[in-house]
Amino acid sequence: MNRQPTLVVATHNPGKLAEFSRLLANVPWRICDLVEAGFDAELIEPADDYAGNAIAKAEQVCNALAMPVLADDSGIEVMALQGWPGPHSARWLGRAASPRDRLVGLINEVDKRCPGDRRVRYVAAVALARPGAATVVACGSCDGLLVEPKGSGGFAYDPGFFSNDLGVTFGEATEEQKDGVSHRARALRRLVEVHLLNPTENWVS
């Protein structure tokens, strides 16, 4: 009888963990969070780009646990501000700021610095680190507008991200709707198709 391989999701964000669990529901893996895996260190984010941070987190946990690990880095980019805050989306207002504070603060910054242009996009990079194999990464994005908060679903900037694909904010969308078009879902689908549907014996623990 084949043992189902375990995949650790490297995030301390419960919203991300729930989203990854939904998006990976149909792949032949048992999803494991950091607590269950026994990893309690702070995740490092040393890079100025999404892929660099995703790779760093995945490899940090993979090296510690000797298990396949999935990690992501994501952010919201304001078109009129050349992509700011981007990879710094969770930190630009300070780590103590709440998601609501960051969203309202970003709206205020956009209206002050580029009034009348609220075009934004969500971007995500998802990295898969595996013992004895090269780390791989895939990226995804989705376009929208920055709006006053609507809805209570999702996490991070979701209530203020009006999706061009859905015609509602991610805060208003159902989980199924968001999972069909989100930046994280698009990145993960690319990774899954190539590397997670048919895991090979030389790197599965």
Percent of the chain surpassing pLDDT 90: 83
Would residue 202 count as lying in a domain?
A: no
Q: Is 68 exposed, middle or buried (0-12, 13-18, 19+ CB in 10 A)?
A: buried
How far CA 135 is from CA of 17, 166, 169, 186, 192, in Å, comes to: 20, 33, 33, 18, 14
The residues that are catalytic are 73
CA atoms 174, 50, 190, 131: torsion sign: negative
Does residue 65 have a pLDDT over 80? yes
**Residue 204, domain member (yes or no):** no
Count: domains in the chain: 1
Asked if residue 205 belongs to a domain, the reply is: no
Nearest CA to 5 out of 33, 35, 32, 42 is that of 32
Task: Please tell me the predicted confidence (pLDDT) of residue 199.
Answer: 52
Tell me the whole-structure pTM to 2 decimals.
Answer: 0.91
> Is 144 a domain residue?
yes
What domain range includes position 163? Answer: 6-196
What is the secondary structure of the chain as a DSSP string?
Answer: -PPPPEEEE--S-HHHHHHHHHHTTTSS-EEE-HHHHT--SPPP---SSHHHHHHHHHHHHHHHH-S-EEEEEEEEEEGGGTT-BGGGTTTTT-TTS-HHHHHHHHHHHHHHHSTT--EEEEEEEEEEEETTEEEEEEEEEEEEEE-S---S-SSTTGGGEEETTTSSBTTTS-HHHHHHH-HHHHHHHHHIIIIISS--TTT--
Give residue 26's pLDDT.
Answer: 86
In a domain, 163, yes or no: yes
Asked if 120 contacts 79 with a C-beta cutoff of 8 angstroms, the reply is yes
**At 166, which CATH number?**
3.90.950.10
Q: Please give the Cα distance from 34 to 134 (Å, whole number).
A: 21
18 pLDDT exceeds 70? yes
pLDDT tens per residue across span 146-162: 999 999 999 999 999 99
| pLDDT, averaged across the chain | 92
Q: Which residue matches tokens 């998802």?
A: 126
Asked if residue 201 belongs to a domain, the reply is: no
Q: Does residue 140 fall inside a structural domain?
A: yes
Query: Whole-angstrom Cα distance, residue 161 to residue 144?
Result: 6
23-32, 77-86, 122-131, 139-148: least confidently modelled range: 23-32
Q: Is residue 175 part of a domain?
A: yes
